[in-house]
């Protein structure tokens, strides 16, 4: 059950909505169905490895030759 972010094209209201299946979404401010789904940004915590395409600033904290975060 994902939460999506929307913007109403009628009143410009930004809002989030928990959507079940193919549930119809309307603006909570003006009740319009003229809405656009926004691209959501998500956060993660507790990630041990760097994200793809990034590199460690320094490997001085690691002494292992097999360290996966340095390669």
Give the whole-angstrom CA distance, residue 15 versus residue 3: 10
Give the whole-angstrom CA distance, residue 63 versus residue 28: 55
pTM strictly above 0.85: no
Q: Is residue 54 part of a domain?
A: no
Say how many domains are in the chain: 1
Q: What is the pLDDT of residues 25-68, one digit of tens each?
A: 999 999 999 999 998 666 555 556 555 555 555 555 566 666 66
Give the whole-angstrom CA distance, residue 10 versus residue 15: 13
Residue numbers of the domain that contains 20:
3-37
Q: Is residue 43 part of a domain?
A: no
Taking Cα atoms as reference points, which of 64, 63, 6, 69 lies closest to residue 34? Answer: 6
Q: Is residue 65 part of a domain?
A: no
Q: Is residue 70 part of a domain?
A: no
Q: Is residue 50 part of a domain?
A: no
Q: Is residue 64 part of a domain?
A: no
Q: Is residue 45 part of a domain?
A: no
Tokens of 28: 């909570």
Q: Is residue 69 part of a domain?
A: no
């Amino acid at each position: 059950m994902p939460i999506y972010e929307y913007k109403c094209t009628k009143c410009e209201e930004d809002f989030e909505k928990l959507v079940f299946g193919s549930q119809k979404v309307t603006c909570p401010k003006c009740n319009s169905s003229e809405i656009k789904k926004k691209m959501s940004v998500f956060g993660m915590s507790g990630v041990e490895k760097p994200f793809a395409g990034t590199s460690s600033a320094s490997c001085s904290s690691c002494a292992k030759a097999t360290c996966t975060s340095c390669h």
